[in-house]
Amino acid sequence: MEPLTEHRRVSGPVVYGFLRLINISDARQAALSASLAEYCHQHELSLCGVFTECTTVVPSGAFTGLMDVLELPDTYGVVLPAMSHLGPRAIATGRGKRIAAAGARLLLVRGDKKPSPPHHGLSGPAGVLSRHRGRGPAPALEAES
């Protein structure tokens, strides 16, 4: 019997990681690299390399190298631990636009922590959901057969 498709080794979309490591300990660098690898494993992406920027000089060789590989035909995107790894806000915005212009997706291990809009029928203090009680009787549940 053939193994299930989920048990066969298939290569996922090709991505490259980018880390901006200014004054970061070796342990933190290892943890960030591991988070990229784990994210790619969970999302069935092929992490083909990680570019590491260790300088505040812009443009950097690491980002230039990243932009070069984004021109390769099978590259899907760039994986970052967080948007801050593209640099300070003004630099990150420009870099994000360049990545998008190259046709690559920008994938964040930790996305923006924006609060989600309230759900219909649920209310309560932040982070606590409770049933919204309307006027009139609650609907009856049908008996299970």
Nearest to 47 by CA among 27, 76, 23, 21: 76
8 Å CB contact between 43 and 29: no
- Whether residue 75 contacts residue 25, with contact meaning beta carbons closer than 8 Å, is answered with no
Does residue 74 surpass a pLDDT of 80?
yes
pLDDT in tens, 106-125: 999 987 555 444 444 434 34
Q: What pLDDT, in 10s, does the model give residues 3-18?
A: 555 566 667 899 999 9
The model's pTM is 0.69
State how far the alpha carbon of 28 is from the alpha carbons of 34, 36, 91, 111, 127, in Å: 10, 13, 23, 19, 30
Q: Determine the pLDDT at residue 12.
A: 80
